[in-house]
């Protein structure tokens, strides 16, 4: 039954706009000007009909777009509804010329997002290759900017046969860099930003004014408090907390469940690493011997990693 209804939905989405154009063409007066105008406008009319049919067809399934954990089984009502909704949305999303046109014109952008269940402000920027899905679970603040090829991943599939779904909220003036990835449950408060190629794990919370440098990895359930920041290529383990206005230097590995509430705590934690990387004490022998660096600290395996994501999640819940 699922595949039969999916075939019906696809036929309606692609076929009804053609039927509408054919009906309109047959009703036009037999005049060269009318025919020419129809030919010029027909691609735009088809695009409008395509989005209208896809959006209206998706509406009975909006109730299935909710946070939670679901079996990836068509016998599960919530998952089945997600599949139908996804079919309607991706029909538009992957039809790039139509999707691009609707993102370009403000009135069409509003129509598209409202049809698919988004209810927030429309003053935000996404691109045709910005991956978004589950529009009822997205929240954009005024002036939020999401670069091209970024991913707002409101859902993640696990190899145990389930799917985890949660909201993503971007506050006023937030910025998500090129090719960055946000997992379900991420919250970015007003004025926070992530650079190029950043990965934010499940339920990461960036408070107001947080700045995450490029190519960083912020582990699940981590919270960065207001005004904190990182350099580039920082790896923060799951369940950590970075205090207000604390700056984590570039290239640092932060173990899971770390608590750096103040800059002094961070300096104290990093002091042994800095000391072991310095040359030996000055002296006649040291002057002749080349400076060597101690072996960098090993990166501990996060708890539960070998048991899969779900175990890792439960450890830090």
CATH number reported for the structural domain that contains residue 147 in this entry: 2.160.10.10
Q: Do 9 and 141 share a domain, yes or no?
A: no
Q: Do 149 and 248 share a domain, yes or no?
A: yes
Residue 139 lies in a domain: yes
Helix axes 106-115, 96-104, angle to 10 degrees: 120
Q: Do 210 and 256 share a domain, yes or no?
A: yes
Residue 239 lies in a domain: yes
pLDDT by residue (tens digit) across 10-39? 999 999 999 999 999 888 887 778 888 888
pLDDT at position 29 = 82
pLDDT at position 81 = 96
Residue 313 lies in a domain: yes
Percent of the chain with pLDDT over 90: 77
Residue 156 lies in a domain: yes
**Global pTM value:** 0.84
Residue 100 lies in a domain: yes
pLDDT at position 277 = 54
Count, in order, helices (H) and strands (E) of the chain.
8, 23
Q: Do 162 and 245 share a domain, yes or no?
A: yes
- For residues 74 and 35, the model is more confident at 74
pLDDT at position 280 = 53
Is residue 54 pLDDT above 60, yes or no?
yes
Residues 277-296 have a mean pLDDT of 47
Q: Do 188 and 235 share a domain, yes or no?
A: yes
Q: Do 71 and 192 share a domain, yes or no?
A: no
pLDDT at position 120 = 96
User: Of 72, 91, 117, which one is at a domain's C-terminal end?
Assistant: 117
> Smallest Cα–Cα separation from 197: which of 174, 213, 173?
213
In total, how many domains does the chain have? Answer: 2
Q: Do 131 and 96 share a domain, yes or no?
A: no
Q: Do 101 and 245 share a domain, yes or no?
A: no
Q: Do 176 and 317 share a domain, yes or no?
A: yes
pLDDT by residue (tens digit) across 168-180? 999 999 999 999 9
pLDDT at position 84 = 97
Residues 191-208 have a mean pLDDT of 98
Question: What distance in Å separates the CA atoms of residue 288 and residue 299, rounded to the nearest whole number?
Answer: 33
Residues 231-244 have a mean pLDDT of 97
178 close to 198: Cβ distance less than 8 angstroms: no
pLDDT at position 44 = 95
- For residues 308 and 110, the model is more confident at 110
Q: Do 67 and 135 share a domain, yes or no?
A: no
Is residue 302 pLDDT above 90, yes or no?
no
Residue 136 lies in a domain: yes
Instruction: Please list the alpha-helical segments (H only) found in the chain.
Output: 2-27, 32-58, 77-93, 96-104, 106-115, 263-276, 284-288, 309-315
User: Of 73, 90, 117, which one is at a domain's C-terminal end?
Assistant: 117
Lowest mean pLDDT among 126-130, 225-229, 254-258, 296-300: 296-300
Residue 265 lies in a domain: yes
How many other CB atoms are there within 10 angstroms of residue 180's CB atom? 25
pLDDT at position 306 = 38
User: Of 99, 117, 135, which one is at a domain's C-terminal end?
Assistant: 117
Lowest mean pLDDT among 80-84, 144-148, 308-312: 308-312
302 close to 237: Cβ distance less than 8 angstroms: yes
pLDDT at position 289 = 43
Q: Do 113 and 133 share a domain, yes or no?
A: no
Is residue 300 pLDDT above 80, yes or no?
no
Range of the domain at 202: 123-270+309-317
């Amino acid at each position: 039954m699922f595949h039969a209804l999916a075939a019906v939905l696809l036929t309606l989405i692609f076929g009804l706009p053609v039927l509408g154009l054919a009906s309109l063409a047959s009703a036009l007066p037999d005049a060269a000007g009318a025919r020419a105008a129809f030919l010029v406008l027909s691609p735009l009319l088809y695009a409008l009909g395509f989005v209208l049919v896809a959006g209206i067809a998706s509406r009975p399934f909006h109730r299935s777009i909710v946070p939670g954990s679901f079996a990836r089984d068509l016998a599960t009502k919530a998952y089945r509804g997600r599949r139908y909704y996804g079919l309607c949305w991706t029909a538009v999303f992957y039809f790039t010329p139509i999707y691009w046109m609707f993102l370009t014109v403000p009135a069409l952008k509003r129509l598209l997002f409202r049809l698919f269940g988004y209810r927030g402000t429309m003053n935000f920027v996404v691109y045709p290759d910005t991956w978004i899905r589950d529009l009822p679970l997205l929240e954009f603040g005024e002036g939020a900017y999401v670069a091209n090829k970024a991913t707002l991943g409101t859902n993640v599939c696990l190899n145990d046969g389930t799917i985890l779904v949660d909201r993503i909220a971007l506050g006023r003036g937030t910025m998500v860099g090129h090719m960055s990835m946000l997992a379900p449950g991420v919250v970015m408060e007003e004025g926070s930003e992530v650079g190029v190629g950043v990965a934010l794990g499940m339920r990461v919370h960036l408070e107001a004014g947080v700045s995450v440098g490029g190519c960083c990895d912020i582990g699940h359930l981590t919270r960065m408090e207001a005004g904190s920041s990182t350099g580039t290529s920082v790896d923060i383990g799951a369940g950590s907390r970075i205090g207000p206005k604390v700056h984590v230097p570039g290239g640092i590995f932060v173990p899971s469940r770390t608590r750096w509430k103040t800059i002094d705590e961070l300096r104290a934690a990093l002091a042994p690493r800095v000391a072991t990387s310095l040359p030996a004490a000055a002296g006649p022998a040291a002057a002749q011997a080349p400076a060597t660096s101690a072996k960098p600290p090993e990166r501990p395996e996060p708890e539960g990693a070998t048991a899969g994501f779900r175990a890792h999640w439960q450890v830090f819940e």
